[in-house]
Chains A and B, each alone.
Chain A
Amino acid sequence: MTLFTGFGGIPSRSAAGAATALAHVLASVADIAEGHRVGHGRRIAWLALRLASLCGVEPAEHATLYYAALLHDIGELWIHTEIFHRAGPTPRSESIGLREHPVIGADFLHRLNVFPAGVAELVRWHHEWWDGTGYPDQLHWAQIPPAAQLLRLADTFVSSLSDRPNRRALPPEEAFQEIVSGAGRELGPEVARTFSMLFQADPQVAALADPQNDPSVASSSVFPMEWATAEDVKTLMLAVADCADARHAVLTGHSRRTADLAAQIAERSGWDDNAVDRARLVGYMHDIGMAAVSSAIVSKADRLTSLERAAMQRHVLHGSDILQRIPELEAYADPVRHHHERVDGSGYPDALTSQAISPFARLIAVCDAYDALTTGRPYRTPLDPDEALARIERDSGFSFDPTIVQVLASTLPAVTG
């Protein structure tokens, strides 16, 4: 079996299409982790590229800027903080930790090695300020590459158009004034001047604040990753799994393990290669919505309140919402949305029963539960494989698909050795 026939279950004719789709998943995970709506990175990319054209940035660098803008805050996934979900001032210790996110993001992208080298560099420097008071490297003036200055400006403008827990969204005109007042301090004067001209000449810039007329929507496929190989697609799939788990230390490795187990069960069940690949991909992506859930909830050792439980359960909606927006992965929105459905109708979010739940969702439900039981959670210690299997078998036919549970039982000796 070739592992990534058809690019690992992604219905794309080329590795470029599959890789681009996965890059957009990564971007969306970073968006929701920071409390933004999906598309935040894309809006920043759109604005940065408009400015790049006006500032004379070489067209060859546009793809680099595009992916840097999409993924600029990917490092925040590894900052275990409540900053993005809490109103009020940020404690100093947390704001210091947050200042590491450009370096963490750049290291992550550098290790992935699937984007142009300049992407990691721009991500590293997207919080450098013109006057030298930014971070992490305190670069100043022309030491900051022009593309990084554009990214800084676009990030500042687009972010100020969004509601955050500790402040309201600014109207476009006020956000524009913030940019003007940041010239010479946060932003290079030339870049700020160019933005000023663009803002006044093009009403589409102000329209970035309007979800209904967001001008960046059409630009999401402007820069396909033409350089990507099948190996890059595989790397990006694993990156999606890692990013899905990154915000919560207790989930480390969960998506990879769930995906591997799902693929083994699918194989033993006699599914064809393509279906096995798709099962693995659902496993990688099933928890991408967890990035939006507060780590205070995920790491809570006590019983969740009804509000907290509702917030936790929304992760399936966040995940499916992300995938619905990406044509190549649209088909996976359904199994991701329904991987917490139970065959007796007691699951969420739609209380589906039995055959109304897609086979992939039923498969992931079993694998997800098995991994959760065997790796432990803040509220209970891990079970050994036999105990976990017994617990799942007890719920077979009620919560879980009995056929899949049966295959799990026969698969486990091979898995656990």
Chain B
Amino acid sequence: MIALAIALAATNGNLEVLNKEIFASLKSSLELALGLLGSMMLWCGTIKVAEKSGMLKKLGKLIGPIIRLIFHDIPKEGEAIGSITMNITSNMFGLGNAATPMGLKAISELQKLNNNKNTASNAMCRFLVINSAPICIMPSTVISIRASLGSNNPGVIILPSIIVSIIAIITGLICCRIFEGKGGIY
């Protein structure tokens, strides 16, 4: 990107503007980072309290039936479904640090149930589709960025984000259902 920018600026004589822009960018990214720092600390602190107070487990119980419905082809109890639930609830709180290890655990549990170790099972495809549009009720980084840039209402995006994730996941799951038909049962 930078090489393209310099080459283009050199050809159309914009190098002076480019020069100015470089230093303006550095300054604005620093200002942004300072604002971001405060918000991020507030949200991560709050979320940690939510985590410790057992809210995640409560949420897991609440969404359990839906998860068992989506993953109808793996055992109803046990490690696989448990770690999938933990992964999804961590994502709901925007806890990326907790969600990824849980997700890795979930997929290795799914691998144990998989008959063909080189090939993804139907459940794995579904799990990754859900992970490509995680439902997040607390998108702390985005809210923090919005707050640090002076938004009147940083949290206004929470509701639309949840609806969008649900739409994306449902679309993805429908695609999985269609493709599964052709691939046979693993």
Q: Do A and B come from one complex?
A: no
